[in-house]
Structure formats: structure tokens, C-alpha cells
Amino acid sequence: MLKDKYLLVMVHIQVLLYKSERHIENLVKGLNILQGDFMVHFWDNSNEDSDRIILKYSPTFDYTFDKSSINSGFGRGHNSIFKKYGNTYSHGFLLLNPDCIPFFDSLVELDSFVVRVSQDKWGIIELEQFPLEHPKDFAPNFEVEWASGAAMYINTAAFKTLGGFDDNIFMYCEDVDLSWRMQIAGYKLYISTKSKIVHVTQSMDDAKSPEFEQVYSIAGNLYLRYKFFGLSEVNDYARYVYNSPYWERIQKIYSEASQGLSLNDLKNFRGSNIKIYPDTNYAKHRW
Amino acid sequence: MQNTDGKWIIIIRTNVGERKHLLNEALYSILAQTYSNKQIVIALHSYDNVELQAERLEYLHSLKYMFRDMVDIHIVTADTSKKRGHPFNVALDFVQQNIPDCKYISFLDDDDVYYPVFGKYLISKMQEESLNFAYGNTIVASYVKDALGEMKFLEKKSVYGEIFNAAKLVTNNYITSNQYVYAFSTFGGLRFEENLELLEDWEFLLQMVFSNNIIGKYYDKDLAEYRIPSGSLSHSFNLHQKNSQAQALTFIYNKYSLKSMMMDYLTCFTLCGDPNNILGNNSEFGSSALEKYSQIIPAERYYKYRYHLVDKIFRPFDNNAILRFMLRKSLAFYRKVKRFLLF
């Protein structure tokens, strides 16, 4: 596994925590049996001492632990980790949600997949979620139109060139945004179906707030439409969601985010040939 | 707060073989369970290749060692010459002798998976409502293989998910083996019939029904997945399977035809209708209670459904005298039960 320049030499794994105590046991124990060379960078956005909890489960892997005094959200949180440790990363690095458990062979299988696509200009390789795979389609060569941030292996150089995640997005849709910017820059996105992670999604976790997901997903959706397609797309979508009981909150989040975009940003992104589904982000026929 | 005092044992039947990656998924679906007090018993049944038994056993022990901090895994080996029910029985015997605090049991084939809330959801319902049998929906996921040999799911739909009706269970298996949890204290003595090549899972449920102790309930929640190659649901059995099914049906008929079972009051209406509008006059749903009451299937629909099902199974065997004979006997049995209930 460690022989070729395309292979995963030492995989750096970024894990962003936020009130993640209930997930840490399974995550640490899952990482303890993960095959391969890796180091984990934990970053706690809730300013809690979750390193105590990590230690409680006797991690057998190398890791770092940092915490932030403010909750900067998913994108900014991962950007912070990358800023601090990214210069030690090799060809790629892995993002892993704390509510995920990697299969023991997921890095080994990822390694094989990287070899498979090594001649391509790949930007992101998504790991397949289990038991409910992410509801989108993929091409016979495993290309996808966007990659889920729950578990994604990112091309380090590409991430650096593109400036990381969009700071304007607090949570949800920053993975779509990164995916689309990767596409615009000519990078391909893949899914490695043999590299699996258990992901306890909102529908399977009573402790997750559906309201939070709904608010930030819709706001993120509006923001992406504004950033990549323009106001007509925003209004087109808003027609379907303005009846949401959280509409005021959604509008506020979207407005604040979109104010962070400069005219230059909009010029760079609009009119690009991004592959998306015409009417939904997901593959209907699979569900 | 959920009571996790009751130990939940999940029994996995496997021959390992070319299915290691599937077994891994089954195991991870258990590791991902939000119910914490659980253990796994893996029953190795190398009926297809006895020579590889030792190698497969070694593989299972390596998994057991690898997952030792996450869940306790016990491994038992079944007699390779015996049929499908035997490995489950070996596992159940093991549980009875070695895990005295086992409270709940469920089964999982090595190519199926649970959703993460399967155990917690059903066990909490059993605790809240004093049930000894509970089940939800099983999603049938049809797949094709992708270029890496992994399952690419084309469609997922709820096929197995119906209200609990003990009478209906007698004539039709609508509950899959990976769909339910049952109380070991009530049914700990039950074992699978080891003579059956098919329908051993249904026969096990019939044992529960005819024990007259079953207090079961269905919950409309997607809790497990049953994976099949795309198109296989519409495939008919081959000749060997047809013979095995016929033998199993004959066995089931012979075993249960003279037995009687208790039936709850409301279930009787599903068989015979409500000609006196008893439910209508006495339930919150009024005159259309039989239709509206969510736990009841109107007798007329039930009757038609049953014949449709019988027709579907037996149509290919129109020229088969044995099966026509069985069909006549089944109908005669049904009429006897109906007459008995009307008294």
C-alpha cells in the first residue's frame, strides 16, 4: 500500500467535532481497527474538552486535538484544520464526519481506487455511505456530480488552489459548492463504492434536529443557486420553499451568506457548465 | 430514557464463502445499532464446501478478534450435512446455555442489513407495550453489480410490512426472518425445523403462533434491508426448489392441521367480517370501523387476497395432483376454522 507515489502514504483525516460526545466511542473504536497508516486531526467547534472523551476509549492511532472558542461551522472549521496541518499532507486528505464509522478496510479500498483513477485529474473521491448510500446516481466509471462531505478524500493541491471551503456557508451545501468549483476547475469527482463508512444520518438518529438540517439545507440551496446560476434560479426555488415555517430564518442566513460574494466571484462561477440534475439534486429512480 | 438492561442477541447464519464483504456489511449494520447492550452469535454453516470449513472458521475468529472492543462475537459451527434451520438451532442452544441474561433475539442472514435504529426502536416498543414480538418494515433493495463488484441499488421499496395478524400468518408468511425481534423468555424453547430446505423461517413463526403466547405488533418504520439481485423477485423457482417448497408445505400442513390456536377478538372480524356492525357500534370509528380500523383487514379483501396468493403460488402446478390435493385440504382446513370461530 505504501509503495507507489499514487498510493496513500500517510492519510491525514480531519474530523470536526461539535457536541459529538455520543458519536466518539464508535468513531474511536472504528478508527482503532482501521487498516493503513493515518493520523487524525480532531477539531472541536464547541470548545469542549472532548479530548477527555477520546482518551476514554483508548485510541491506538496518532492524533492531534484542537478546539475553537466559537462554532465556525463545517467549512470554516475544516479550513482551519487544513490551515494548521495541511502542509504535512500528501497527495490527498480525508474528511470524516464524527457520526461516521469507517469500515476496517475502507482506506485499503480507497488506496486501490486512487490507483484506478490516478491518471485522471481527480479532485474528490467520495466514500460510500452505509447502510443508506447517498441518494444520487453515479456513472459506470464511478464519476459523480457532487461528493458528500460526510466522508470525502480530497486532492490536497486542488483544495489549496481553490481556497478550501466557501467561508460564507455555515453548514450544508459546502460540499456541493466545493464539488462544483472542482468541476469548473476541470477536476473529476468520483465515488469509491468499495470504501465504505457507516453514516448515521438524520433519519436514523433521533438526536439530530430535522429543523436545523432543513433550515441550513434550504438556505444553502438558495445560496448555491445565487452563486452559480443567478437570481432567477433563486426565485424559482424560493417559490417552493417560502411556505416553510422557518422561512424568515432561512432568508436571513441566505442573505448574509450571499453578501459575502463579490462581483468577481459571481463572474467566475456563473455561466459555467456544471453537471447537475435538472429538477432535483438526487437521482429519483434510485428511490 | 431507554432501558437497555435487556441483552439483545443477533444470530447471523453464514457460510462465509465468497460473501465476506457481505458479512462485513451485516456486522457493521449491527455495530451501528443505537441499542448498546448487544452481542452477536455467528453460526457457520459450510454446507457448500466442507473442506473450507477450517479456513472460514479462522476468518470468523479474525473478525471476532478485530471487533472485540466494539461488540462481543460468539462463533458456533453447524453440521454441514444438515439443512438451513440447523445453524440457527445451534446458535439458539448456545445462547440458552451460555448467555443466561439474553432477553431479545433476532436473526440476520449474512447478506442483509439492519438500519441503525432497528434494535432500539423495536425493543423500546416491546418494553413500552409489553410485547413479546415486534417488527417493522423490511425494504427490498434490488441491485446490479457495479464495475468494482459492489451492489449498485436500482430500487428500494417496502414490500414486507403489514399489520400483525396471527391468523393470516398461518396461511401466508409475510414476515421475513430479519424483520423482527422476539422475547427469549417467552420463546426460548422454540427451535427451527431441521428437515426443511425452504420455509423454515415461516414454520418457526407458526410455532410462535400456535404456542398461543404471541403478543405481537407491527410498526410502520423502515428498519431493515433485504438485498436481492435485480429481477430476481419475479423469477420462479427451479424444479428442485419447487419440490422443496412442496415438501415444506406438506410438512407444515401435516404438523399443524389438527392444532388449534387462540385468536384475539378483533382478528376474528378480519376473517369473517362484521355483519352485525359490532365494531361500528362500539368503536371510535363508527359504522365503517371495519374499513377504518387500522389493525383490521376486511374479511372480503382478506379472502380475495388469500385466493390470489394461492393462485399465484399454485398456478404453475395446475397439472400437479399432489399440490391440487394440498390446496383442497388447505381450503377444507380454512372452512373448519371459520366454522369453529362462528360458534
What SS3 string covers chain A?
A: CCCCCCCCCCEEEEEEECCCHHHHHHHHHHHHCCCCCEEEEEEECCCCCHHHHHHHCCCCCEEEEEECCCCCHHHHHHHHHHHHHHHHCCCEEEEECCCEEECCCHHHHHHHHHHHCCCCCEEEEEEEEECCCCCCCCCCCCECCCCCCCEEEEEHHHHHHCCCCCCCCCCCCHHHHHHHHHHHCCCEEEEEEEEEEEECCHHHCCCCCHHHHHHHHHHHHHHHHHHHCCHHHHHHHHHHHCCCCCHHHHHHHHHHHHCCCCHHHHHHHCCCCCCCCCCCCCCHHHC
**What is the three-state SS of A1-57?**
CCCCCCCCCCEEEEEEECCCHHHHHHHHHHHHCCCCCEEEEEEECCCCCHHHHHHHC
* B25 contacts in chain A (CB < 8 Å): 130-131, 196
CA distance A287 to chain B (A): 6
Cis amide bond preceding A278, omega within 30: no
Task: Report the predicted TM-score, pTM, of the whole model to 2 decimal places.
Answer: 0.84
Q: Among residues B322, B306, B124, which one has the least CA distance to residue B242?
A: B322
The span from the CA of A270 to the CA of A264, in Å, is 10
- d(Cα A113, Cα A141) in Å, to the nearest integer? 11
- Number of neighbours of residue A248 by Cβ within 10 angstroms: 9
Cα separation, B243 vs A122, whole angstroms:
53
Q: Across residues B25-30, what is the average pLDDT?
A: 96
Chain A touched by B71 (CB under 8 Å): no
- The C-alpha cell that represents A111 in the structure block: 488506496
Chain A partners of B24 at a C-beta cutoff of 8 Å? 103-105
C-alpha cell at A69: 472558542
Q: Are B147 and A141 in contact (CB < 8 Å)?
A: yes
Instruction: Please give the helix or strand (H or E) that residue B133 lies within, else none.
Output: strand B133-145
Q: Helix-strand-coil percent breakdown of chain B, rounded to 5?
A: 45, 20, 35
- Any idea how long chain B is? 343
Nearest CB neighbour to A193, from listed B66, B146, B155? B146
Contact (Cβ atoms closer than 8 angstroms) between residue B178 and residue B106: yes
Q: Give the residue from B148, B156, B158 with the most A CB atoms within 10 Å of its CB, the best one to mutate.
A: B148
Q: Which three cell numbers stand for residue B218?
A: 407491527
Report the DSSP beta bridge partners of residue A153. Answer: A94, A125
For residue B52, the distance in angstroms to the closest alpha carbon of chain A comes to: 23
Is residue B218 less than 8 Å (CB to CB) from chain A?
no
Instruction: Select from A29, A198, A206 the Cβ nearest to the Cβ of B28.
Output: A198
Query: What mean pLDDT do residues B313-340 have?
Result: 62
What does the pLDDT profile of chain A (287 residues) look like in tens digits? Answer: 333 444 457 899 999 999 899 899 999 999 999 999 999 999 999 878 889 999 999 999 999 999 988 898 999 999 999 999 999 999 999 999 999 999 999 999 999 999 999 999 999 999 999 998 887 788 899 999 889 999 999 999 999 999 999 999 998 889 999 999 999 999 999 999 999 999 987 666 666 667 888 899 889 989 998 999 888 888 888 888 888 899 999 999 999 999 999 888 888 888 777 765 444 445 554 44
Is pLDDT of B225 > 50? yes
